[in-house]
Chains A and B, each alone.
Chain A
Amino acid sequence: MSVKKSKSPSRRDFIKTAGLGVGVAAVASGVLSAGDAEATPLLSTDKATDYRETEHIKKYYESAQF
């Protein structure tokens, strides 16, 4: 049995004409997960970004000390 959400034609029409249908599906793996499920990092695991990520963490902690 399935229940459809958002049956209102006017809401769906509005969204349709707003230009949101851009033909893109999943473009990112995210940091978020449901509860205990494993999450994949939002930032890429590419080496260059790893370095940036480490620096960013450092800067974040530095800037957080006020």
Chain B
Amino acid sequence: MLTEENKLRIRISQEEEQRAHFYLLLSRLLGAVADEQLFDVIQNLEIDNSEIGKALGQLKSAAKCTSVKTAAEEYDELFIGVTQGELIPFKSYYLTGYLNEKPLAELRDDMEKLGIAKSDLVAEPDDHIAFLLEMMHGLIVGSFGDPLSVVEQNNFFEKHIFCWAPKFFEDLEKADAANFFIPVGRIGKLFMEVEGEAFLIAA
């Protein structure tokens, strides 16, 4: 029987942690308007010469020459709008053309199995891209229980994210209202490719 003292502690590698933080960063960019603090974070990101690094460089430049207010207005146009934004960033919508369909129900089933709950304070359904990205972060680091194995993470990723998010990020990059968010779309698309490839390498 496991007691608190001899309970297995699962630690994750630094690289897996980096993935998790990346999910959280993207989640934050897509879940709400960016504030000064997030702009600050963006401008201090450490980047390299990888494709993602270059796209992050573009985001850093965008943060330099866009005001928080302008980025917020762009966020509004892209995702909020009058009745809806230019984009509808929900898994159900991308897979069926409608909100609140089976893809959402399937996600909710898995959320329950994984012990993930959404705050009642937020009205959006659970399959918003920002929530899904945040879920991945939690599943990697163990916010809802033990960290998931890479195989389990992959199952979740393929079932709820990989099947639609690359297309969403493409749409974001090409959206009429996008300016600051062009590199966000590019980063997201590249990150999805990296994740897909990384999952193919046995942990």
A residues lining the B interface (CB < 8 Å): 1-8, 10-12, 14-28, 30-37, 39-44, 46, 49, 52, 55-57, 59-64
Q: Are B13 and A4 in contact (CB under 8 A)?
A: yes
Taken together as a complex, chains A and B put the C-alpha atoms of A62 and B14 apart, in Å, by 44
Known interface pairs A18-B52, A34-B143, A59-B82; A64-B135 also in contact (CB < 8 Å):
no
A35 in complex: contacting residue of B100, B117, B130, CB < 8 Å: B117
**Segment 10-38 of B: residues with Cβ below 8 Å from A:** 10-16, 18-19, 21-22, 24-25, 27-28, 31-33, 35, 38
Residues of B within 8 A of A8 (CB): 201-203
B41-49, B155-163, B173-181: which lies at the A interface?
A: B41-49
Q: For the complex, would chain A's binding face be called helix, strand, loop or mixed by DSSP majority?
A: loop
**Segment 179-195 of B: residues with Cβ below 8 Å from A:** 191, 194
Q: Are B194 and A18 in contact (CB under 8 A)?
A: yes
Q: Are B25 and A41 in contact (CB under 8 A)?
A: no
Q: Are B15 and A22 in contact (CB under 8 A)?
A: no
- Could you tell me the distance in whole angstroms from the C-beta of A22 to the nearest C-beta in chain B? 5
Q: Which of A3, A19, A52, A62 has the most CB of B within 10 A?
A: A19
In the assembled complex, B65 has its CB within 8 A of some CB on chain A: no
- Could you tell me the distance in whole angstroms from the C-beta of B169 to the nearest C-beta in chain A? 16
Residues of B within 8 A of A24 (CB): 21-22, 24-25, 41, 45
B residues lining the A interface (CB < 8 Å): 6, 8-16, 18-19, 21-22, 24-25, 27-28, 31-33, 35, 38, 41, 44-53, 56, 76, 80-84, 99-100, 115-119, 121-124, 130-131, 134-135, 137-138, 143-145, 147, 149-150, 191, 194, 197-198, 201-203
A32 in complex: contacting residue of B45, B56, B116, B123, CB < 8 Å: B116
Known interface pairs A27-B28, A63-B84; A19-B53 also in contact (CB < 8 Å):
yes
Residues of B within 8 A of A26 (CB): 21, 24
B10 in complex: contacting residue of A2, A22, A36, CB < 8 Å: A2
- Could you tell me the distance in whole angstroms from the C-beta of A65 to the nearest C-beta in chain B? 11
Q: Are A2 and B145 in contact (CB under 8 A)?
A: no
- Could you tell me the distance in whole angstroms from the C-beta of A15 to the nearest C-beta in chain B? 4
Known interface pairs A28-B31, A43-B31; A3-B80 also in contact (CB < 8 Å):
no
Taken together as a complex, chains A and B put the C-alpha atoms of A12 and B150 apart, in Å, by 12
Q: Are A18 and B198 in contact (CB under 8 A)?
A: yes
Q: Are A32 and B41 in contact (CB under 8 A)?
A: no
